[in-house]
Structure 1
Amino acid sequence: MTQVIEPRVEDQAPAAASAAVGAAPPIDQAVLADLERLLDRVSQYNPHIDRDQVRAAVELAHMAHGGQLRDSGEPYIYHPLKTAHILADMEMDQASIIAGILHDVVEDTNVTLDQIHERFGEDVAALVDGVTKLPDEMAAPADLGTEKRQQSERKRRAENLHKVFLSMARDLRVVVIKMADRLHNMRTLEHLPPERRDRIARETLQIFAPLAHRLGIWHLKWELEDLSFKYTDPEKYDEVAGLVAKTRAEREGELAAAIEILRERLRASGIEAEIQGRPKHLYSIYQKMLSQELDFSHIYDLMAVRIIVNTLEECYHALGVVHELWVPLRGFFADYVAKPKPNNYQSLHTKVIGPSGEPMEIQIRTWAMHRTADFGVAAHWRYKEGSKEDSFERRLAMLRQQLIASQSDTRDPQDFLRTVMENILADQVFVFTPKGEVIDLPAGSTPVDFAYRIHSDLGDHCIGAKVNGRMVPIDHRFHNGDVVQIITRNTSGPSLDWLKFVKTATARNRIKRYLRRLTRDEDIVRGREQLERELERRNLERIDLSRHERVAEVATEMNYQSVDDLLAAVGHSLVSVHKVVERLKLQPVQETPIISVPASRSEQPAGKIGITVGGQEGLLLKLGKCCSPLPGDAVTAYVSRGRGLVIHRVDCPNAIKYYQKEPERLVAVDWQDQDDAVYPAHLQVLVVDRVGALNAVVSIISESRVNITRMKVSTAPNRTGLLDLSIEVRSTDHLCSLMRRIETLSDVLEVRRSESGYRR
């Protein structure tokens, strides 16, 4: 039977299972012809391409994907071939071309990375691994409810992007291959259902197009933006496209006249140049209409002129010719040749009053600059040999450092993705160190953001800055081209006020981390005590939690850098005691006796909410109001007099009191999460006392579909506010996930689970 696979877009699983290698029909002539076109294109810039290796990759991909079809109805092999064509147009190296051909075989078929490594080498295998999504075992089970399934799918998409970004930190070719894959998928997106088209297009607009911009791959950025625009706002897209089409003939005539005038004047000046007309892209036109609140009829520079010359000197000579011909508009000249953008883009930009009396944008660059402008970071591998690109190497290294720093700031893939979008993919401002190094930051950044970008110690001790030689306060907003020198004092540290003006997630996270260190020791002690009590309650092997190697292993498994970090997370209620103890897998010392409790009609049967005692269900219970236990907590049951079982967290003061006075009345219980059940929980959120802080917290809780049953707000003289919240959640995992989301808010200093709600 022919297998059908939907277009390979991120977060989509194949409609059919993987194909076995060797199950494919013979390669048809159309595929072979496309392969030869690919080889001819690559040979134009790489005459030494190993044609046999590329052919072998196509043969393997064809056999692996077998008779699979995409939703468009075409054989699946065309997708990896088209991906390779896009990479060839960016003049990527041989390993990238082969990895582009094989980018889906590990994910969708029985081919393994070991087989790719053996046949094509370590470089290709590493690239394929970088673009391969996480295994299907991590997908949401089919029997999950709609809401939980959607949450699981969002988490999995974030985890896949998280993997790509971390692979990108090791080798930027990974993300170039991923973007080529995404571009071909966007070109065939019409074959998907509307809801999925919209989600994929929005993800492309939010992540992949800004990433192409960040890496300087302009032609890819523009096409991704226009394709995304087509699906995210089809009415506006059609409106703008229609308006552009109506005036195209007139504009093309004006542009042709301007190009002819330029060509004659440049030739008369001894400059041989290629002159191109470049239409503005639909999405950029729409964004200009929005940002400047302009009607379409008031946007005049819908087409630009590009002059490509042979030498650097001719760039400035050509600029002089342009300004002799037409009057330049003040404030619209930019010299990106002398000061390249961080993605290595170089050109002279000017805007003049053209021959028709309308504004006209002109860009002037050399052929080498043109290659970099089109291919960005992708051009780096083709042309770096023998070139002087130390500054670009340093900028690539800084981008990698930003990705690694984003990973160290948060362990949650969804939080990581938000940090990357805010720190790396947002609109940028470009400033310089005193040594001339370019530092790119989100627009609106301050000296504190700059300092934390360089090093956490520099940020922690920042007291001010010199910008362009003049002292400025630490909340000063940068402009493009500022030269920044940070002023420090060893005895100074961050304050709460800094959270009001910093722009980057990195700065916010590190300020919060500094402030939280003040309570870290208390959290470590509390976490150790909670774990020790739980080990004792379960009658498990007693160990030294600070020194036992298994505890260190668990800390590493849970992505904590040290045992103390793990203990502090337990003490801060960021991870449940139950989870840590389960991972420790310690041996029991002795059996814990189970007491059978007769049922009473007046109480809730335990089995209804997933609690069993010694394998028995139907026993009556109450949840202790003193500690509000949840599924996932380390819990115990107290056999009360006449009221059945009362469930307590093991770190509850009442449970500790019972253990000291009546240990025989405490019994072990097993509590499984029930999909449709919610339980009371209580949070305390410490925020900066300013307008909007409360609303932001409540909005996050509402977006998480969590019900707030009570809320109390109080303020302190130190300009902080405390929110006491009573909410309803499903489990400790649900609660911890909500706490992590709240902690990402810029005004939030601390989130802590409290024992019980406030008292009226």
Structure 2
Amino acid sequence: MLRQYELVERVKEYAPEADEALLNRAYVYTVQKHGTQKRASGDPYFSHPVEVAGLMTELKLDQQTIITALLHDTVEDTLATTEEIEKLFGADVARLVDGVTKLSKIEVMTENERAAENLRKFLLAMSEDLRVLLVKLADRLHNMRTLHFIKKPEKRQRIARETMEIYAPLAERVGMYEYMREMQLLAFEQIEPEGYATITGRLAQIRSQEGGHVDAIALAIKQALAEAGVSVEVTGREKHPYSIWRKMKERHVSFEQITDIMAFRVLTDSADDCYRALGTLHQHWQMIPGRFKDYISTPKSNGYQSLHTALIYENSMRMEVQIRTREMHRLNEFGLAAHWAYKQGGARPDGQVGWLRDLIEIVDTTHDAEELLENTKLAIYHDRIFAFTPKGSLQQLPKGATAVDFAYAVHTDLGNATVGAKINGRHMPLRTRLNNGDVVEIIKSEGSEPQLSWLGFVVTGKARAAIRRAVRAKERAEVAEIGSKLFDELTTRLPQRIGKKALNAAIAKLGMDDEEDLMFAIGSAHVTDREVMEALVPGSTATMPEDPEWTRSEKAISIKGLTPGMGFELAKCCHPVPGDRIVGLRRPDHKVEVHTIDCLTLADGVDADWLDLSWGSRTTGATGRLRLVLYNRPGTLAEVTQIFANAHANVSALNIVQRDDHFGTYEVGLEVADLAHLTRIVAALRASAAVTDAERI
């Protein structure tokens, strides 16, 4: 553990103007406040904030951040207050400590809810001052270094998984690769202990057998570049164990099949030397196509700059080479934190946090814990591609992003209005995956709306959040429209006409906010006919029979407008049910085909006689057809069939049209009483959490 004078000396080395007395006061304050508290390791608790402060000095951060690191647990774990900290150390430190403290108070929720709420507060605090993020990352890194002292394996697993899914990607997004790699390694050891032991053991074996081989390759690279007049520093190392594990899982290969275990880093004096070194290496050794990336001309969103290439060395050995200047290397390893050494007053580094605005938008528009975690993870994970607008503006997107993701990255309104896309001048489907360097032109229409099917291929959290929000709003409007039609039908059964005053009174009785709320409740079957009728006209349902149970034996269909004895059949294209407006097509030697008035195939009936038909009084049932899109998860089909059973509707046919990892599309034949019966079933389906879309065929 750092002693008091050692910590102060570290700060004074890079910030001679730092207030030594204030730093000493903060050190003593945290020691006194934490007192006799112990960590799981048995060490005094105050050793943790002191070590976190030490990590901050390695990044050469300002004294407010160092003091925040020292005090970051005092408000949560001791009797210290934010007001006391503000009085002793200033408003800036108090605000930063409060920002870090807010991230750790959720302890009684379920794991996903706790993680989601923790993340929500974290991102909002970050948006106010990114130094909160720097302290929190250092706090998590030191906790991971001592994680093995925690006795409960399930707690170690939870902390490690949260680190792998949230904090390591966040460290990567702000360019703190050293933090990211160490967090991943420590979390990997807990989450996959067997995989960790196997890979680190194999790497140790390679190191003992071929340790000199790495040095020999590094020397060969350095000599080749020296002959070309480029002065460089070359280092070699094995790839990160977690990186190897992830590649094995993604490619479904064994350790022996990973051919690029070795990676080499070339540091130069200037960007010009980087490109000269690249050309020289490509002349000396064969380049592996598709593995070259230029992050100098087009930096990553976190500011990372480097040239990446892969070469084939002697004996067909593959090796990765990263080429960058020494200054780029310093900024790459500590990213956002490295900029603070040059910023006065904690100004936010430019160009570093554009991705943060997308995260904050997701936080503001997502209220479900599962969705927030899913969308945020999509937004912060790496593996980026670069695409351009026709005017040359750059958009950085995750690997696998589509034209729809691109549209939402430009602006949410543009994504919502998207109807098509041109990629490199050619019209392409919206689900087309983008490649590095693509020029994307989005075609929009003011009257268009996001489609539910887009959720099947978009990959960015921002796009998914916006699409879900728009689809929910549209679904509510559609359900309310169905409810309005059902309400009109319902009022015809009342003994008197209903005025606006009676309607408003009924809305109040039923606990609704307005007329739209009532129509949505009717359409989604949240209120029954009886409840609505009683609210409108008390006593009107006294003689009303119970809802009938429809059975096959009771069903019979009669059609008005046919000659007695004339045969007919209900058309298979539109599946009319009692209540639809209908028309008949009569051809010689054929039964009369009964179609709905808006059936698209009526245009083919120019050679037939058209008959004006209506449903007879004995009509009590027919088969309607529905197309359903369900979430692909256990129990959804059972939930849907329960809806049919509750509505007394018999399933006559069920066909699976399409299934993928997320959704399943089904066509259902349903025996129903009439159009009102079918409409109620559609309303109940649309209100179900198992159903993403339900429509009549």
Matching residue of 1:173: 131
Q: Find out whether 1:661 has 2:530 as its counterpart.
A: no
Cα distance in structure 2, aligned partners of 1:296 and 1:545:
62
Q: Which residue identity lines up with residue 417 of structure 2 in the other structure?
A: H
When residues 507 and 295 of structure 1 are mapped into structure 2, their CA distance, relative to the original with a 3 A threshold, is closer
Q: Find out whether 1:121 has 2:90 as its counterpart.
A: yes
**Pairs within 5 Å for 1:325-724:** 325-354=284-313, 357-383=316-342, 393-394=350-351, 396=353, 398-425=354-381, 427-518=383-474, 520=476, 652-655=528-531, 660-661=537-538, 689=628, 693-696=630-633, 698=635
The answer (yes or no) to whether the contact 2:310–2:321 under 8 Å persists in 1 is yes
Q: Which residue identity lines up with residue 169 of structure 1 in the other structure?
A: S
437-446 or 177-186, which deviates more: 437-446
Give the secondary structure class of the aligned counterpart of 1:376: helix
The answer (yes or no) to whether the contact 2:686–2:693 under 8 Å persists in 1 is no
Give the secondary structure class of the aligned counterpart of 1:76: coil
Percent identity of the aligned residues?
38
The answer (yes or no) to whether the contact 1:512–1:749 under 8 Å persists in 2 is no
Matching residue of 2:39: 70
Out of 240, 244, 264, the position equivalent to 1:281 is 240
Q: Based on CA coordinates, which of the two structures has the bigger radius of gyration? A: 2
Q: Which residue identity lines up with residue 136 of structure 2 in the other structure?
A: K
Could you give the per-residue CA deviations for residues 474-512 of structure 1, whole angstroms, max 9, x where no partner exists? Answer: 221112332222122334333444344333343344334
Q: Which residue identity lines up with residue 190 of structure 1 in the other structure?
A: H
Q: Which residue identity lines up with residue 204 of structure 1 in the other structure?
A: T
The answer (yes or no) to whether the contact 2:375–2:465 under 8 Å persists in 1 is no
Displacement of 1:96: 2.0
Give the secondary structure class of the aligned counterpart of 2:300: coil
Matching residue of 1:190: 148
Displacement of 1:697: 6.5
Displacement of 1:325: 3.5
Cα distance in structure 2, aligned partners of 1:200 and 1:742:
35
When residues 229 and 481 of structure 1 are mapped into structure 2, their CA distance, relative to the original with a 3 A threshold, is same
453-462 or 190-199, which deviates more: 453-462
Give the secondary structure class of the aligned counterpart of 1:457: helix
The answer (yes or no) to whether the contact 1:496–1:688 under 8 Å persists in 2 is no
Q: Which residue identity lines up with residue 220 of structure 2 in the other structure?
A: I
Matching residue of 2:568: none
When residues 530 and 721 of structure 1 are mapped into structure 2, their CA distance, relative to the original with a 3 A threshold, is farther
The answer (yes or no) to whether the contact 2:301–2:355 under 8 Å persists in 1 is no
The answer (yes or no) to whether the contact 2:386–2:397 under 8 Å persists in 1 is yes
Cα distance in structure 2, aligned partners of 1:748 and 1:655:
28
Matching residue of 1:564: none
Cα distance in structure 2, aligned partners of 1:570 and 1:135:
41
The answer (yes or no) to whether the contact 2:375–2:464 under 8 Å persists in 1 is no
When residues 658 and 568 of structure 1 are mapped into structure 2, their CA distance, relative to the original with a 3 A threshold, is closer
The answer (yes or no) to whether the contact 2:421–2:427 under 8 Å persists in 1 is yes
Cα distance in structure 2, aligned partners of 1:95 and 1:723:
68
Q: Find out whether 1:239 has 2:183 as its counterpart.
A: no
Over aligned residues, Cα RMSD in angstroms? 4.2
Cα distance in structure 2, aligned partners of 1:456 and 1:289:
37
Displacement of 1:197: 0.6
Cα distance in structure 1, aligned partners of 2:448 and 2:119:
38
The answer (yes or no) to whether the contact 2:416–2:450 under 8 Å persists in 1 is yes
Cα distance in structure 2, aligned partners of 1:568 and 1:485:
38
Cα distance in structure 2, aligned partners of 1:400 and 1:331:
30
When residues 699 and 278 of structure 1 are mapped into structure 2, their CA distance, relative to the original with a 3 A threshold, is farther
Out of 262, 270, 282, the position equivalent to 1:303 is 262
Cα distance in structure 2, aligned partners of 1:203 and 1:239:
23
Matching residue of 1:48: 17
When residues 750 and 196 of structure 1 are mapped into structure 2, their CA distance, relative to the original with a 3 A threshold, is farther
Q: Which residue identity lines up with residue 161 of structure 1 in the other structure?
A: L
When residues 62 and 715 of structure 1 are mapped into structure 2, their CA distance, relative to the original with a 3 A threshold, is farther
The answer (yes or no) to whether the contact 2:303–2:351 under 8 Å persists in 1 is no
Give the secondary structure class of the aligned counterpart of 2:633: helix
The answer (yes or no) to whether the contact 2:189–2:196 under 8 Å persists in 1 is yes
Matching residue of 1:164: 122
Cα distance in structure 1, aligned partners of 2:688 and 2:261:
44
Cα distance in structure 2, aligned partners of 1:259 and 1:504:
39
Q: Which residue identity lines up with residue 112 of structure 1 in the other structure?
A: T
Displacement of 1:429: 3.3
Matching residue of 1:199: 158
Could you give the per-residue CA deviations for residues 10-45 of structure 1, whole angstroms, max 9, x where no partner exists? Answer: xxxxxxxxxxxxxxxxxxxxx6x5333333333444
Cα distance in structure 2, aligned partners of 1:139 and 1:220:
26
Unaligned segments of structure 1, at least 5 residues: 1-30, 141-150, 539-543, 547-566, 577-625, 628-650, 666-686, 725-738, 752-760
Give the secondary structure class of the aligned counterpart of 1:100: helix
Displacement of 1:64: 1.5
Displacement of 1:432: 2.6
Aligned length: 564
Cα distance in structure 1, aligned partners of 2:27 and 2:516:
52
When residues 370 and 139 of structure 1 are mapped into structure 2, their CA distance, relative to the original with a 3 A threshold, is closer
When residues 452 and 568 of structure 1 are mapped into structure 2, their CA distance, relative to the original with a 3 A threshold, is farther
Q: Which residue identity lines up with residue 75 of structure 2 in the other structure?
A: V
Cα distance in structure 2, aligned partners of 1:289 and 1:212:
23
Displacement of 1:103: 1.3
Displacement of 1:469: 3.2
Unaligned segments of structure 2, at least 5 residues: 485-499, 543-625, 658-664, 671-684
Cα distance in structure 1, aligned partners of 2:472 and 2:236:
56
Give the secondary structure class of the aligned counterpart of 1:55: helix
Cα distance in structure 2, aligned partners of 1:230 and 1:327:
36
Displacement of 1:177: 1.7
When residues 135 and 312 of structure 1 are mapped into structure 2, their CA distance, relative to the original with a 3 A threshold, is closer
Cα distance in structure 2, aligned partners of 1:81 and 1:157:
26
Q: Which residue identity lines up with residue 538 of structure 2 in the other structure?
A: K
Give the secondary structure class of the aligned counterpart of 1:393: coil
Displacement of 1:152: 3.7
Displacement of 1:311: 1.1
Q: Which residue identity lines up with residue 250 of structure 1 in the other structure?
A: Q
Matching residue of 2:692: 748
The answer (yes or no) to whether the contact 2:384–2:398 under 8 Å persists in 1 is yes
Displacement of 1:331: 2.7
Q: Which residue identity lines up with residue 127 of structure 1 in the other structure?
A: L
Give the secondary structure class of the aligned counterpart of 2:395: strand
Could you give the per-residue CA deviations for residues 369-427 of structure 1, whole angstroms, max 9, x where no partner exists? Answer: 101210122223234689xx99x83451x212211210232123443222211233365
Cα distance in structure 2, aligned partners of 1:477 and 1:38:
51
